[in-house]
Every structure is written in structure tokens, then in C-alpha cells.
Chains A and B, each alone.
Chain A
């Protein structure tokens, strides 16, 4: 965000570069500098050209890898069930688009429910620990202890308890994904400037008022960071949940296709999983840029 080009100052520099110390050149702290930094602030509004420039190296590398992959599988005539070439994967993506779309829909539903529930539970845990110090001291070590349990190992248990449908996947996602939400938000709630809290106390603010007016807004950028970690974990949780037992979904499809040696379909499903994860991630990033456009920290 800070590296975003600053159109205001650039144009001024360009037109008046032969008088570098002219009055109109923005100095830090001067009016025009403040104005220019407003223009540069919304990081989500990146022009198509600069977005392309940013992703161009990654895109070039990606395409390069695909070409080498295609070449290797053709030259060495690798059987398709070992390593299908990218073109074969694309063909499967098109031929099986309806089944893949349905599987993606099932998995996306699991991710969405699981993620939203993780966010709510994670935020609630953080709020409880921050607001009720004594109870928090009891709860926090248990939350951390629970985090050390390998959650994947709980998947069969959830199948046993909740069946083969949506519920066990959502439960698995929640136990995997709520922790980064809780921890990040808790950091945000607890790192408020003590002087600010002293000021609030001095005018008779209650603990709830301090929480609502200062701590919660202050924690939102931290919460968003936690949500970004949680959403990628949610996708993993959904796939693992489907591995443990399911009748539909991309994870189920991957497992089923691999037993059938339909490796191209495995890769096609993997592509859709990645796209799904990216989509969820960027939706959160967009929301963050839209609603939480301030920088945390001292000011």
C-alpha cells in the first residue's frame, strides 16, 4: 500500500523538475502531501496496468513451468495416470465441468459455513478472554492445549458423531480454523495504547465501553489477518473432512478419481480447489480494503 504510486506528486515532479525546490512540491506535513497520500491510500484500487505489472513475473514463471511440464510428459511419454500434461488437465476441466462444478459447489458450501462459524467462534473466544480476565486466564491455556491436538485425527470421530453430510466437515473446519482468528483478534484487543485506556477511564468509560469504542475497532485489522489464515485452513479442513468420509465434493472427487487412476481428474479437481481458495482469500482481502482502510499501530 505504501509502495503505491503517487500520481499527485509524480505529475508535479514531472512538470516542474527543473525547479526541484519550488513551493508546490509537496513536503511531508504540508497540505498537498497530506492530500496526495489520501489519493494513494485505498490499496484495493489498483489500476489494471499496475496489477498486471505486479503479477507479470509470477505469471511468466507459471507459464514457463507449464511449458516445461508439457514438454517433459510428451518427450518422456509419461503415462497419463502418472503425470498428465497440462493440456490433458485442461481437457478434463472442460469435459467434466458439470461434475466438477457440482463438487466445487459442495466443497464451497462446507468452506463457507465452516469459515463463518470459525470467524464467529474465534472472535467470541478472543472477546471473552479479553473482557473477562479471570475466566480468560482459565480459558486461554485450554485453547492453546487444544491447538496442539492434531485436528486431522478428529475427522473420523466427527464422521462417527455427525454422519457423512455437511456437519462433520463444518465441525472439522471450525476446530482447525478458529484458532488463528482467536489469537490474532486477541492480540489486537490487548495491544491498545494504555494511555488511551487511561484517557477513557478518566472520563468515566466502563470496561464495556472501552471494549466497544477502542479495543474492538483497534483489533479489526488483526482480525482480518487471522481471517485470511483461517480461510485457507478452512479449504484444507473441507478437503480432509471429505477424505475421511463423504458422498460429494472436490476432496471426495480427488479420492475417488485416484482410486480409479483418473489422475487428470485428480489434477482438475486440485485446480478447482486452488481457485476456490484464492477466491475466498481475495473476497476477504477486498472486504478488508473496503472497510478497514487504516493502519494499526502508534500514531
Chain B
């Protein structure tokens, strides 16, 4: 059985999943990749999904983001089904790869989804909004640069700006910093925390970094594989404002060691299964 979120007991859930299962059928054999997962995220919350590779954390995110229909169970985002929430542009998505268009500059990449969604009345309006988003992610000076001229971290910032451009309520992020080096990762963590505090988005982050999950989240859901499920939801009592010093705070050490223990336990269970 999965442990329901401890924080969400009082607050109304912005994202809610109840008894979600996902099966993949490969060559006639049914594989259960997600088994009876429940979670809830309050409005303005920051929740991380952490677990070993293949534990179904990306699959769960896809279900929450409306990219994959669950085999069983119920999911709502802002009170409606994810696919409907996507249609209402309540969900922004950031992938591990920045998935930018190499033939467009940073500004046009940010504007791309707005253009398709007709989110602005005029070209100027879209252009203005895209410029604002680039400023928000600190890349106003790189507006005319193509993705190939940007570093990995900058590309991912453009990708985040693109997701934020349609002003979604929820940001779903699938290992967004997984391809970056350790220092850039920490910089991006601080940057994402700032974005979260300034925009009050609800964020769900998939990561395999214990430090990243601890530093960023209000709550971390630890997942294990075989069968994939959430084994525990850990509230992170690391005080705000969080900054570089937070990494050496006692609460940080406490949370990370607990997460590490849970992940190892899940690992052992998976190995024994």
C-alpha cells in the first residue's frame, strides 16, 4: 500500500492521483510498470519523485502530465483529468533534454508554443511575453542565440521559459538537470527554487539526485521498483529561505540520510524480488 501524502491532509489537492496503475503490453505479456500509486500535491507545492532507474517515476510523471493514460485509477489536476488540464494549458512540461528547435534562436523557441496556441493576440504580444520569460530565467542577453551556441544549463533555462510562457499552474519536470554537470546542477537547483518562489507554480520534479530533491522539495516521494510504487512520502523540514548554506544544515543531513536509507531499502527489496 502506498502512503498518502502527509502534507496534503488539510490543504485541497492541486494534483491528485489515487490507486494509479499502468500496464505495458510487450509481445503479449503484460508488464505492470506502476502499481497502485497514490499521491497528492497541494497548490503551490513542490514535490519530488525519487527512485532508482526503472522505478516508474517518469511513467508516473507522464500520467500526471496527461501524456500517458493510466490503465487503472484516477488522476486529477486542478480538479479535471490531466488531458483536459493540458487542453486548458494548466500544465507545462520540461524534459531531460531541452528539446529546442536548433534552427530557431532562444526567443523564438520560447515563443514557439505560444504561437501554436495563439496565446497572444498579436505577434508583438507574443514577442513581449517571450522576452519577459527570457528575462525571468536570466537569459535576456542570449535572446538571439541558437541552441547550439548555448550551454546545457542555458538550454534548459530556455526550455523552462518556454514551459512558463503559457503561464501554466503546474510544472512537470522529468529529470530536467540530469544531463548537466554537478556544479551547473546546483546552480540550476537554486535557479529553479527562485522561479518557484516568484511564480508560485505547483511543481512536480522527477530526479535521481537525493540532494536535489531535498534542497528543492517540500515533500519527497520515494519510489521502488518491482512492482513500481511509492514506498514513502517524506516531508522536508528544511527552513526557508534555502540557499547554499542549506546544504550544510542539520535538517538537510537528516532528510538526505533518511532518503538514502529508504532508497537502499527499496533497492534491496527489488534485488530480492
Give the residues in chain A near B66, CB-CB below 8 Å.
Answer: 202
Say whether, besides A199-B99, A199-B113, A299 and B93 are in contact (CB < 8 Å): no
Contact A296 B102 (CB under 8 A): yes
CA distance A220 to B95 in the complex (A): 24
Cα A37 to Cα B147 with chains together (Å): 12
Give which listed residue, B113, B149, B154, B155, contacts A203 with CB less than 8 A: B113
Which of B100, B151, B153, B154 has the largest number of chain A CB atoms within 10 A?
B151
Contact A299 B149 (CB under 8 A): no
Cβ contacts B131-174/A at 8 Å (1 or 0 each) = 00000000000100111111111110000000000100000000
Query: Is the pair A294, B166 in contact by a Cβ cutoff of 8 Å?
Result: no
| Cα A131 to Cα B103 with chains together (Å) | 22
B93: which A residues are within 8 A, CB to CB?
198-199, 202
Total number of residue pairs linking A and B with CB closer than 8 Å: 72
> Which residues of A sit under 8 angstroms from B87, Cβ to Cβ?
204
Question: Which chain A residue has the least Cβ–Cβ distance from B96?
Answer: A195
Q: Are B97 and A298 in contact (CB under 8 A)?
A: yes
Are B155 and A213 in contact, with the CB atoms below 8 A?
Answer: no
| Contact, CB under 8 Å: A295 / B145 | no
- Asked if B89 CB lies within 8 Å of chain A CBs, one says yes
Cβ of B67 within 8 Å of any chain A Cβ, yes or no, is yes
- Are B149 and A29 in contact, with the CB atoms below 8 A? no
> Is residue B117 contacting chain A, with contact meaning CB distance below 8 A?
yes
**A198-B67 in contact given A34-B145, A38-B149, A193-B97 (Cβ < 8 Å):** yes
Report yes or no: A205 in contact with B116, Cβ–Cβ below 8 A: yes
Identify which of A34, A37, A205 gathers the most chain B CB atoms within 10 Å of its CB: A34
Determine if B192 is an interface residue (Cβ-Cβ < 8 Å): no
Chain B interface bracket (under 10, 10 to 19, 20 to 34, 35 or more): 20 to 34
Known A-B contacts A202-B93, A203-B117; A295 and B99 likewise in contact (beta carbons under 8 Å): no
CB-CB under 8 A for A29 and B153, given A195-B97, A294-B102: yes
B97 with A299: CB separation less than 8 A: yes
Measured between alpha carbons, how far is A199 from B155 in the docked complex, in Å?
16
Q: Is A214 an interface residue (CB 8 A)?
A: yes
A277: Cβ under 8 A from any B Cβ: no
Q: Give B184-196 as 1s and 0s: 1 = Cβ < 8 Å from A's Cβ atoms.
A: 1000000000000
B251 → A minimal CB distance (Å): 32
Note all chain B residues with C-beta closer than 8 A to A29. 151-154, 184
Q: A297 to chain B: which residues have CB within 8 Å? A: 102
Partner of B116 from the list A200, A294, A299 (CB cut-off 8 Å) is A200
Interchain CA distance A200-B148 in the complex, whole Å: 21
A274-299 toward B: CB 8 Å interface, digit per residue (1/0)?
00000000000000000010111111
A-chain residues with CB within 8 Å of residue B148 when the two chains form the complex: 37, 41, 294-295, 299
Do B146 and A213 touch across chains, with their CB atoms under 8 A apart? Answer: no
Contact B103 A34 (CB under 8 A): no
Name the distance in Å between B68's Cβ and chain A's nearest Cβ: 10
Contact A295 B150 (CB under 8 A): no
Q: List 24 A-B contacts (CB under 8 A).
A: A29-B152, A29-B153, A30-B151, A34-B151, A38-B145, A195-B95, A195-B97, A198-B93, A200-B113, A202-B67, A202-B86, A203-B89, A204-B117, A209-B116, A213-B116, A217-B101, A217-B103, A218-B101, A292-B103, A294-B103, A297-B102, A299-B99, A299-B148, A299-B155
